[in-house]
């Protein structure tokens, strides 16, 4: 089983909000990682059109 760690953005905050022209501001970003299981694409022929993935 192959897995992949994918970044997930939890929140983004811009302060101050609203921002005035020619003034300083900060951006805070909260990120976590999600483990994703990679599965191979299975192609079927018969009931579906040949080459279509089942379940779609």
Enumerate residues 6+ apart whose C-beta is below 8 A from 5. 33, 34, 35, 36
- Indicate the domain borders of the chain: 1-56
Token duo for residue 51:
């080459």
User: Which residues, listed in sequence order, are joined to residue 16 by a DSSP beta bridge?
Assistant: none
Which has more pLDDT, 29 or 18? 29
Higher pLDDT, 2 or 55: 2
- Is 38 in contact with 5 (CB distance < 8 Å)? no
Report pTM: 0.53
| Residue 44 structure tokens | 């079927």
Nearest to 31 by CA among 54, 53, 8, 49: 8
pLDDT at 25 exceeding the cut of 90: yes
């Amino acid at each position: 089983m192959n897995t992949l760690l994918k970044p997930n953005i939890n929140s983004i905050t811009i302060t101050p909000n609203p921002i005035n022209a020619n003034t300083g501001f900060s951006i805070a970003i909260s990120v976590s990682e999600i483990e994703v299981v990679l599965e191979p694409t299975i192609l079927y022929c018969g009931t579906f059109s040949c080459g279509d993935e089942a379940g779609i």
